[in-house]
Amino acid sequence: MNNKVAAEKSVEHLHHKTPIRIGAIIRYVILMVVALIMLYPIIWMIGATFKTNAEIFSSIGFWPSSFDFTPYIKGWETGTEFTFTTYFINTFEIVVPKVIFTLISTVFVSYGFARFNFPFKKILFSAMIATMFLPGVVKTIPMYLMWRNLGFLDTYVPLIAGTLFAQSAFNIFMLVQFMRGIPRDYDEAAMMDGCTSLQFLFRILLPIVKPALVTIGLLEFMGSMNDFMGPLIYISSVEKFPVSVALKMAMDTTSGGFNWNQIIAMSVISLLPSIILFFSASKQFIDGMSTGGLKG
């Protein structure tokens, strides 16, 4: 009798779980289809690097008729006195300092707004937030004139200097929200143990807000890698071009029509650092975008 009751309960339990499993399978199938649709442009780009111009414009399929790595070789050589090695080195000479300076300046400015009281704090914070609604094109001409008068045109200084002063209001706002979400009890406990403000920042606060720092670093890295207008405005020497401008130059200097497979091949390679970095820190990035610090 007991065995019969147990069997009936087991069957009933399976009937309850079956709809849940079917629902989960449907959700995963839908997510996989959506993910494939979103990734298809990148997949197509990779396939297009092995195609001829005629094949690129005659088919939306990603699979090439043959695999030939010549576009990567010719594209890297560029047909000029400089290879893409030079342009990648130039790019990282801009990107790496920008990421480092952005993180340092954003941390200190956000720490001040989040944990200290000082005169006109609310007014200054509001003014900083207001700059998020200011179109970047508005400041292009004044900034160009300023750097021209200072004699820094055709250098990387105009592209990097702003990051020393926490120029991104979005980064500050996000990090301030993280820091405000950390209970004040931490501050009091640290002060009782003899921590100074800087010790509290580096030993306690920064490890907690690590997801936000990773998010800021990733956004700055990808934004700097893809920046086209900045280098185009301030850099005039070919040997100083980053990858973004070099790709456009490759299109402009091609005679007899574009070798699209070479240009796309170099575009794919230029995407690799951002893709590798993103997937290496994807968990921290998701945590940084979806949470706002600890809850008290």
* Burial classification of residue 181, based on how many CB atoms lie within 10 Å of its CB (0-12 exposed, 13-18 middle, 19 or more buried): middle
**Is residue 55 very low, low, confident or very high in pLDDT (cuts 50, 70, 90)?**
confident
- Across the chain, mean pLDDT equals 84
Average pLDDT (270-281) is 87
* Tokens 């839908």 belong to residue: 30
Dist CA 214 CA 157 (whole Å): 24
pLDDT of res. 92: 95
**Is residue 41 very low, low, confident or very high in pLDDT (cuts 50, 70, 90)?**
confident
Average pLDDT (217-237) is 92
pTM over 0.85: no
For residue 165, pLDDT over 70 is answered with yes
**Is residue 260 very low, low, confident or very high in pLDDT (cuts 50, 70, 90)?**
confident
**Is residue 192 very low, low, confident or very high in pLDDT (cuts 50, 70, 90)?**
confident
**Is residue 216 very low, low, confident or very high in pLDDT (cuts 50, 70, 90)?**
very high
If one counts every other C-beta atom within 10 angstroms of the C-beta of residue 287, the result is 15
pLDDT of res. 5: 46
Reduced to 3 states (helix: H, G, I; strand: E, B; else coil), residue 238 is helix
Average pLDDT (25-49) is 89
HEC readout, the chain: CHHHHHHHHHHHHHHHHHHHHHHHHHHHHHHHHHHHHHHHHHHHHHHHCCCCHHHHHHCCCCCCCCCCCHHHHHHHHCCCCCCHHHHHHHHHHHHHHHHHHHHHHHHHHHHHHHHCCCCCHHHHHHHHHHHHHCCHHHHHHHHHHHHHHHCCCCCCHHHHHHHHHCCCHHHHHHHHHHHHCCCCHHHHHHHHCCCCHHHHHHHHHHHHCHHHHHHHHHHHHHHHHHCCHHHHHHCCCHHHCCHHHHHHHHHHHCCCCCCHHHHHHHHHHHHHHHHHHHHHCHHHHHHHHHCCCCCC
pLDDT of res. 157: 95
Average pLDDT (146-151) is 94
pLDDT of res. 295: 44
pLDDT of res. 293: 43
Average pLDDT (129-143) is 87
* Tokens 């120029």 belong to residue: 167
Q: How far apart are the first and last CA of the chain?
A: 53
If one counts every other C-beta atom within 10 angstroms of the C-beta of residue 138, the result is 9
- In 3D, which of 220, 210, 228 has the Cα closest to residue 102? 220
Average pLDDT (115-134) is 90
pLDDT of res. 253: 59
For residue 132, pLDDT over 90 is answered with no
